[in-house]
Amino acid sequence: MTTVLDSAKGVAEDIFYVGIGVGVIAFQKAQVKRQELKGKFSKPIEDVEKQRDEIKVKLIDNVLRLDDSLDKAIEGVGTFFEPVEQKLPESLRDVVTKAKGFSKDSRYQLRQILVSAK
C-alpha cells in the first residue's frame, strides 16, 4: 500500500514541479516580450517627446515675441493717452496708475513663467 501512496506522492510532486516550471517559463517569455516591445516603441516615443519639446520651445518663443509686441503697443497707447490721464482728477489718476502697475506686474510674472518653462 505504501508503494501506491509513494507513487501517487511522487506523481503529485512531479506535477507540482512541472507546474512551477511552466509558470517560470511563461514569466520569462513575458519578460522577453516586454523587452522586445520596449525596444520597438522606445525610439518612436523618444522622437515624439523630442518633437513635443521643440514645439514647446517654439510656442514659448512666439508668445514671448507677441508679449514684446504687446508691450510696445501698450507703451504707444500709454503715451497717446498720457495728456488725458494728466487731466484726470487725482483719485482717478491713482486708479489708472495702479491698474498700469498691476498689468505690468502680471505680464512680468507670465513672462517669468514662460521663460522658466523653456
Place of cell 483719485: 91
What is the structure's pLDDT at 1? 57
Q: CA-CA-CA-CA torsion for 40, 43, 48, 51, nearest 10 degrees? A: -160
- At 11-64, the pLDDT tens digits run 888 888 898 999 999 999 999 999 998 888 888 888 889 999 999 999 989 988
How many whole angstroms separate alpha carbon 22 and alpha carbon 24?
5
What are the backbone angles phi and psi of residue 72, rounded to the nearest 5°?
Answer: -65, -40
CA angle 39, 44, 46 (to 5 degrees): 90
Q: How much of the chain exceeds pLDDT 90, in percent?
A: 19
What is the structure's pLDDT at 103? 85
* Residue ranges of domains in the chain: 2-117
Cβ neighbors of 74 (< 8 A, separation 6 or more) are 103
Cell of 23: 509558470
